[in-house]
Amino acid sequence: MSKFAWVTLTTNDTYSLGALVLAHSLRRAGTAHQLAVLVTPSVSEAMRNKLKDVYNVVQEVNVLDSQDAANLALLSRPELGVTFTKLHCWRLVQFEKCVFLDADTLVLQNCDELFEREELSAAPDVSWPDCFNSGVFVFRPSVDTFGKITEFAVQHGSFDGGDQGLLNQYFADWATADIKKHLPFVYNVTAYASYCYLPAFKQFRDNIKILHFAGKLKPWLIQFNSETKSASTPSEYAHAHDLIQLWWNIFCDNVHERLT
Ligand code: UDP
Ligand code: MN
């Protein structure tokens, strides 16, 4: 069994649909590595069983757990609850190295080479490229690192209230220290922001390795016609229509039948 794993997180049955499509996209791309998903207690039993069909590891994590000293400290910072949930990925110490992927990402091509990178490798954020986007990052599980980041969160909070602000504050030298930790943008292409530079999106779209549906409009919220099997992409996202359609094709081919 591989000592490397792709890791995602879901806190409800809706994001779990994203996690299911993501897992099938990884299998489709022929990854040699394991798949792990962190689930919170609010994910239904039925959904966990679906996740178990495609993930090697389905690990329950608590958002706030009074049994746990780190969580206790966070009880005074409840706004960090969801952020903190993502941090649980550092506890997957049965793996040597992992790549975290948001549940709203889609792997278009095999990316197993990412495991050659070191912690913390990530791609620039489109809106502020001196920050990395925390939807895709390479990390090394470690209880020690988990404790340090959690403590940092309690002391400093997060400048954007989410995991991205926190992780950018913690891994503060990412922008300047080591270019090898800068993943090329093709590993985390924001589906809806690329219209800012549409010619580049068109020029390089066949090179995209991981697509990220960052923002409010998740693919599972886009209207889908089950007779014609086509997604009704809003006109402002027309450039991304076939990628949204691809998400839905994987959903129809690999996920939908197994849900019913
Ligand atoms: N997430 C979740 N439930 C939520 C919100 C977020 O499970 O209610 C997880 C999920 O893995 C998601 C990630 O946290 O992909 C980050 O949130 P999101 O992708 O919505 O943020 P964005 O990329 O749009 O900034
Ligand atoms: Mn995301």
Would residue 245 count as lying in a domain?
A: no
Asked if 14 and 44 touch (Cβ cutoff 8 Å), the reply is: no
| 224 domain-assigned | no
Q: Residues 15-24: pLDDT tens digits? A: 999 999 999 9
Residue at 154 is within a domain = yes
Residue 96: inside a domain:
yes
Give percent of the chain above pLDDT 70: 93
Indicate which ligand has the atom closest to the C-alpha of 47: 1
* Rounded CA separation 249/255 (Å): 9
Question: Best substitution site from 10, 61, 101 to test ligand 1's pocket, by max atoms within 8 Å of Cβ?
Answer: 10
Q: Is residue 219 part of a domain?
A: no
Contact assessment for residue 100 and residue 167, using Cβ atoms and an 8 Å cutoff: no
Within a domain: residue 67? Answer: yes
Buried-exposed string 160-182: b where 16+ CB fall within 10 A, e elsewhere: eeebbbbbbbbbeebeeeeeebb
- Supply the pTM of this predicted model: 0.95
Q: Is the dihedral of CA 210, 216, 217, 221 positive or negative?
A: positive
Domain around 54: 4-185
Give the single-character DSSP code of 192.
Answer: T
β pairing state of 132-139 and 121-124: antiparallel
Count: domains in the chain: 1
Asked whether residue 33 carries a pLDDT value surpassing 90, the answer given is yes
Look at residue 154 in the predicted model and tell me its pLDDT. 85
Answer yes or no: is pLDDT of 203 > 60: yes
**In contact, 73 and 152? CB cutoff 8 Å:** no
- Count, in order, helices (H) and strands (E) of the chain: 9, 11
Among residues of the chain, what percentage have pLDDT more than 90?
Answer: 76
Q: Is 30 a member of any domain?
A: yes
- Residues 105-122 have a mean pLDDT of 98
ipTM exceeding cut-off 0.90 for this assembly: yes
- 225 three-class SS: strand
**Average pLDDT taken over every residue of the chain:** 92
46-62 residues labelled b (16+ CB within 10 A) or e (exposed): ebbebbeebbebbbebe
What is the Å distance from ligand 2's center to 32 Cα?
24
Calculate how far, in angstroms, residue 34's C-alpha sits from the geometric centre of ligand 1: 21
Q: pLDDT per residue over 61-82, tens digit each?
A: 987 665 666 776 776 777 666 7
Q: Which CATH number is 42's domain given?
A: 3.90.550.10
Q: 241-250 and 13-28 helices cross at what angle (nearest 10)?
A: 90
More confident: 226 or 33: 33
Is position 221 within any domain? no
**Which residue's C-alpha comes closest to atom 18 of ligand 1?**
214
Look-up of token digits 């490397």: 4
Task: Give residue 196's identity as a one-letter amino acid code.
Answer: C
- Closest ligand by atom to 217 CA: 1
| Best probe residue, ligand 1, of 6, 7, 11 (max atoms within 8 Å of C-beta) | 11
